[in-house]
Amino acid sequence: MLSKLLLLFILVQFGLFAQETSAKKPTNINGKALVLYSNNFQSPAQWSFSNTSTPSANWLITTNLNVAPFPSFNPAGFFTAFNGYAIIDSDAQGDTAHQDAILSLNPRITACTNEPFVLLRFSQMYRKFNDTTSVEVSNNGTTWTEFVVNQGMFNSTNSANPEKVTVNISNVAGNQDTVYIRFRYRASDAWFWAVDDIEILRQDEFDLEAVELISGTTGNWGSKIAYTKLPVSQVQPIKVSGKVKNAGYSGQGDVKLVGASSGFSSESTPDIVPPNLSAVFNLNQDWTPTSSLGNKSLGLHVESTAVDAVPINNFYDSLKLEVTTDLYARDELIREGRVSNNFNSIGFEVGNVFDMFQDETLTSARVLVMGETAANSTLFVKIYEAIDNNTFNYLSGSDTLIIPALTQDTWYRVRMRNPELLETGKSYLLVAGSEGNPVFPGLVIGTSGLSESFTTFQKFNSLPNWYSFTEKPMVRMSFESVVSNEEIFSKDLDIQLFPNPASGSTFLRLNDVSQSDVIIQVSDMTGKIVLKKSLSNLEGTQTIELETGELNAGIYLVNIFVEGVKTTKKLTIK
C-alpha cells in the first residue's frame, strides 16, 4: 500500500494524484448477437489456476460478495455473483509482491465451429493501478494470442460495478473446432480484478454503436471546453462530434451523425467505417442554445442505410446544459469521484479553466465538499489569469474557511474577498484548495466527469509547478450580486418512495428542496440504467412520477442526485 501512495505522488504530473472515479463504460454488445457459449462459475471445477507470482498468489472463485479491497465494489454487482465469480487481489499481497496469475477455463469450447465472426464478452469489476489485464485465446491449447483490456484507464480509476467488456476474437477463434480461453493478471502493489458471466457470441453483420459524445466551445484558451451551466452572457456556438464504432463484421460506407433540437438540425458528411473500428463524425453546423433561461437539449444518433442489428445502441445520451443568470460550471452534475491531498500536511489547489466571452464580475465560487472531509480542514478559493499550461497569474481569493465535521456531501458558497472583473477574450483558472490538515483525509472535493486535456490543473503548496488533472472538480464560478460564505446545500435529504413494491408507476416525494437540480436514475441489479429523469430549479415539496409499467419484476436501485448529492432507495417491481 505504501508504494502505491509514493508512486501517486511521483505521478502527479500526469494528473493522477489522489483521485477516484468511475472509468468510461466500455462497449457493450447487446440485442441480436447470439450467445454460443456461457459460463458463470457455477462449477468452479471447470476452472484451474497457475501463477509465477512472488509470493504465490492465485485467483479465487468465491460467492462472498464483499471481498473486493476497494469499498465501492462491495457488494459485488455481477448478475450471477451468487453462483460464484473469480477475483485476484493484488492489494492483499503487500507492496513488495508481484503477481502473474492465470485463470483458465478447462473445458474446450466447441461452439465456434462454422462461426467465422465471434466475440468474447464478460463482466468485470476492476480498479486500475500500474497493472496489465488481458484475455488470452488459443485454438490448440499451446499457442496463445493476448488481448489486453482496460488499456485506456488511468491509474486509481474504477470500472463500473459491474461493467461489460467485449473482445473480438474472430482471428483466433473463428471457424475453430476447439477454443481455449484464460484470464491473465500481472501487477505489483496494484488493486484487483474480478470477472464473471463469460459468453461467446456470434458477431452481427451490421451494428453501429454510439460510443462517445464530444462537444465544446473554443475560446481564448485554444481548447474545446464543454460547459454544463452557462450564464446568458457566455452562450456561444458549440461544436458537436460523435465517436462511432462499427461493431459488425461488414464495413459500412454511408455512416453519418445526426443532431436535432428545437429549431435546429444538422448532419455530418457521410463516411466509411471499417468493421471493428471507430471513427469520429462532426456535425456540419455548430449548435447555439437559445439564450432564454432553462434546460437545453440536443438529441444525437448515428445511422446508415444498412439495417442495424441493435438500433437501440445507435443513440447517444442527449447533450444537455442549462442557461443560467449567474452560474458557470463545467462539472457533469453527478459526483463520480474525489480529489484530496492524501499527504495531508501539504496544502493543495485544484480547479478548472474557463473562457470569457463577455465581461463578468466574479463574486463567489461554489465547491462540493465531500462528507468524508476531516473536521477542521481549511477551504479557500482563488482566481488566476490563465496564460498557458505553466503560467497562471494570481488575481485574488477568498478568506479561509474552517470546515466542521460533515455527515454528507455539502455545497459551499465561498465569497471572494474582493469581486474580480473577468474580461472578454481572456481565460481564467478558478481553484478551490486547503492549507493542509494532519488528520486523514484532509479536505476532499467532489469530481464529476473527465476533463478535456490541459483544461483542469492542480498544484501543491510545497511545489512550484502546476500539473494537468484528468477529472473535473466540482468548483463553479458565480456572478451573483450579493453573496456570503455559507453552506448552501447541507441538510439530510428527506425523500420518500411510494408505493413500494410498485407495478405501473411509483412516486418520489422530495421535501423542502431549494432551487435544486435533480437527476433520477433507476438501474437494475446488473448496473444497467433503465430509467432516467432530469429536473431543474425544483423548489419546496415536489412529487415526481416514475413510470415502471415496462420494467420486469425484480429489485431495482433508485439513485437520486440533488445538486450532485446522492441518495439511494431500493425499489421492488411486482
- Name the least confident of 130-134, 192-196, 212-216, 493-497: 493-497
| Residues 545, 509 contacting (CB under 8 angstroms) | no
Distance of CA 342 to the CA centre of its chain: 22
Residues 47-62 pLDDT 10s: 999 999 999 999 999 9
Confidence check: pLDDT of 265 > 70: yes
Confidence check: pLDDT of 211 > 50: yes
| Residues 411, 563 contacting (CB under 8 angstroms) | yes
The pLDDT, as a whole number, for residue 23 is 30
CA gap 467, 155 in Å, rounded:
16
The pLDDT, as a whole number, for residue 542 is 85
CA gap 275, 204 in Å, rounded:
11
- The residue among 493 and 495 whose pLDDT is bigger is 495
Residues 472-482 pLDDT 10s: 999 999 998 86
List residues bridging with 186 in a β-sheet: 100, 132
Q: Which residues contact 178 (CB under 8 A, 6 or more apart)?
A: 108, 109, 110, 139, 140, 141
Q: Which three cell numbers stand for residue 8?
A: 501517486
Say if residue 159 is exposed, middle or buried (CB neighbours under 10 Å; 0-12, 13-18, 19+).
Answer: buried
The pLDDT, as a whole number, for residue 48 is 97
Residue 14 banded pLDDT, cuts 50, 70, 90? very low
CA gap 403, 222 in Å, rounded:
36
The pLDDT, as a whole number, for residue 566 is 73
Work out whether strand 401-403 and strand 271-273 pair parallel, antiparallel, or are unpaired.
unpaired
| Residues 171, 203 contacting (CB under 8 angstroms) | no
pTM: 0.74
The pLDDT, as a whole number, for residue 486 is 61
| Residues 478, 365 contacting (CB under 8 angstroms) | yes
The pLDDT, as a whole number, for residue 482 is 65
Q: For residues 389, 391, 396 and 402, what is the CA-based torsion angle, rounded to 10 degrees? A: 60
Half-sphere exposure in the Cβ direction for 62 (13 Å, CA): 14
- In the chain, the amino acid numbered 156 is S
Q: Which residues contact 242 (CB under 8 A, 6 or more apart)?
A: 210, 211, 212, 213, 214, 257, 268, 280, 281, 300, 302, 316
Q: Which three cell numbers stand for residue 145?
A: 494470442
Measure CA of the first residue to CA of the last residue in the chain; give whole Å.
46
Residue 504 banded pLDDT, cuts 50, 70, 90? confident
Mean per-residue pLDDT of the chain: 88
Confidence check: pLDDT of 551 > 80: yes
Confidence check: pLDDT of 194 > 90: yes
The pLDDT, as a whole number, for residue 47 is 97
The pLDDT, as a whole number, for residue 229 is 95
Confidence check: pLDDT of 404 > 70: yes
Output the 3-class SS for 31-99: CCCCEEEEECCCCHHHEEEEECCECCCCCEEECCCCCCCCHHHCCCCCCCHHHCEEEEECHHHCCCCEE
- Name the least confident of 288-292, 391-395, 545-549: 545-549
Residue 559 banded pLDDT, cuts 50, 70, 90? confident
Q: Which residues contact 136 (CB under 8 A, 6 or more apart)?
A: 102, 144, 145, 146, 147, 181, 182, 183, 184
Q: Is 139 helix (H, G, I), strand (E, B) or coil?
A: coil
Residue 461 banded pLDDT, cuts 50, 70, 90? confident
Residue 69 banded pLDDT, cuts 50, 70, 90? very high
Q: Which residues contact 363 (CB under 8 A, 6 or more apart)?
A: 415, 416, 419, 478, 479, 480, 481, 483
Q: In the chain, count H helices and then E strands.
A: 2, 42
CA gap 324, 320 in Å, rounded:
13
Residue 483 banded pLDDT, cuts 50, 70, 90? low
